[in-house]
Amino acid sequence: MMKSDYKKYVLQFTQPAGTSRGVYTQRTSWFVFVYDSDNPAQTGVGECAPLPGLSPELNANFTEKLDDICKNIEHYRKLTPTDLAEFPSLKMGLKTAFPDYQNKGTKIFYRNAFTEGKRSIKINGLIWMGSPEFLDEQIRDKLNDGYACIKMKVGAIDFEAELSLIKKIRREYGAQDVEIRVDANGAFRPADTMEKLKALAALDVHSIEQPVKAGQHELLARLCKETPLPIALDEELIGIHSLGQKQDLINYIRPQYLVLKPSLHGGFGGCSEWIELAEESKTGWWVTSALESNIGLNAIAQWTSTLESRLHHGLGTGQLFANNFDSSLYLENTELKYDVNKTWELSALFND
């Protein structure tokens, strides 16, 4: 008989992680366990990783829903596209736990060149917000490590100071050498957004994620039409569940890119719908993790590896948290790879 339970686990950042929404020092994930009552050693694990301030499901009886799922796990075994639409991180956790259970806890969900250790995933180097000196130090480290794409959070310090850091990069590296993406997390004021977009475009910045706060569709549509710099939607996609709603949003705003986060944007199924609509409208896209542990990151990386995308993706490296789990993922030459010989270490998760 299939059974299920869950555990709350607090991940500790190795150093404070700054965004325009505040500074993270820790983040909480909930891990769903699926197992056979006659063979508890064969356990599937899935990570549910909603983000405070971004995931509406945290305000919608999240733990009560998780309790219900675990008590009625057989009912949730075959999820339809509309099931758990308002609980994307729970959906992603289940969509990971069930196949992991079926595969005897191997943490392999897709048999392909990535999980065979023969292919890697190109990722960007992430620059967290902070003082100009801290930003400069991170940028220098990423460039010295050889990253061909860096993503810089903007909107926390003086914009001119942020521009000066980008200018410094461009004095040494042209756009053909280093791709620069910026992420405002909605921090720009509508009145001066276009001026900032022009300044960034002049420095050959690749794109900007979510320049203004989500929900301003008329403003975003105008910006995307007139912008000198490609605009990527991120937070704008949260809470858009139905295929029709997704189609309407893309048709109205006409963004240049979508940034897809399975834990926020409907799990793998929801993100696949976004990808299909994006490609129909010639909208670009890439995948980004959302501060999951290595368990969630592993699932996202494996799914991303099936998409055959040549762009750099915003996947984590497993190095953010002091109490992360040893996994088969590793970084080599700024690309994410899978070590077929590495053993997972999950004792911290299973021990009380």
Do 7 and 156 share a domain, yes or no? Answer: no
Report if residue 26 sits inside a domain.
yes
Residues of the domain holding 232:
121-350
Domain final residue, candidates 69, 102, 135? 102
Report if residue 113 sits inside a domain.
no
Catalytic annotation, pick one of 151, 153, 196, 246: 153
Domain final residue, candidates 52, 70, 102? 102
- Report whether 125 contacts 147 (CB < 8 A): yes
Do 93 and 131 share a domain, yes or no? Answer: no
- Report whether 164 contacts 140 (CB < 8 A): no
pLDDT at 20: 64
Report if residue 27 sits inside a domain.
yes
| pLDDT digits 0-9 by tens, 101-122 | 999 999 999 999 999 999 999 9
Do 241 and 337 share a domain, yes or no? Answer: yes
Report if residue 276 sits inside a domain.
yes
170-188 burial, b at 16+ Cβ within 10 Å, e below that, comes to beebeeeebbbbbbbbbbb
24 pLDDT tier (thresholds 50, 70, 90): confident
Q: How many domains does the chain fold into?
A: 2
Report if residue 8 sits inside a domain.
yes
348 pLDDT tier (thresholds 50, 70, 90): confident
Do 258 and 320 share a domain, yes or no? Answer: yes
Do 20 and 136 share a domain, yes or no? Answer: no
| pLDDT digits 0-9 by tens, 202-246 | 999 999 999 999 999 999 999 999 999 999 999 999 999 999 999
**CA 226, CA 180: separation in Å to the nearest integer?**
21
350 pLDDT tier (thresholds 50, 70, 90): confident
Do 159 and 300 share a domain, yes or no? Answer: yes
Other C-beta atoms lying within 10 Å of the C-beta of residue 266: 28
Is 78 known to be catalytic?
no
pLDDT at 318: 86
**CATH code of 17's domain:** 3.30.390.10
| pLDDT digits 0-9 by tens, 44-65 | 999 999 998 889 999 889 999 9
**CATH code of 328's domain:** 3.20.20.120
| Mean per-residue pLDDT of the chain | 93
152-164 burial, b at 16+ Cβ within 10 Å, e below that, comes to bbbbbbebeebbe
Catalytic annotation, pick one of 122, 151, 213, 261: 261
Report if residue 112 sits inside a domain.
no
Domain final residue, candidates 44, 70, 102? 102
Question: If 0-12 CB within 10 Å is exposed, 13-18 middle and 19+ buried, where does residue 124 land?
Answer: buried
Is 261 known to be catalytic?
yes
Do 276 and 146 share a domain, yes or no? Answer: yes
Cα 284 from chain centre: 16
Report if residue 51 sits inside a domain.
yes
**CA 279, CA 282: separation in Å to the nearest integer?**
5
40 pLDDT tier (thresholds 50, 70, 90): low
| pLDDT digits 0-9 by tens, 157-192 | 789 999 999 999 999 999 999 999 999 989 999 999
Do 10 and 134 share a domain, yes or no? Answer: no
Do 96 and 148 share a domain, yes or no? Answer: no
Report if residue 109 sits inside a domain.
no
Do 64 and 166 share a domain, yes or no? Answer: no
Do 299 and 343 share a domain, yes or no? Answer: yes
Do 50 and 190 share a domain, yes or no? Answer: no
Does the predicted model carry a pTM greater than 0.75? Answer: yes
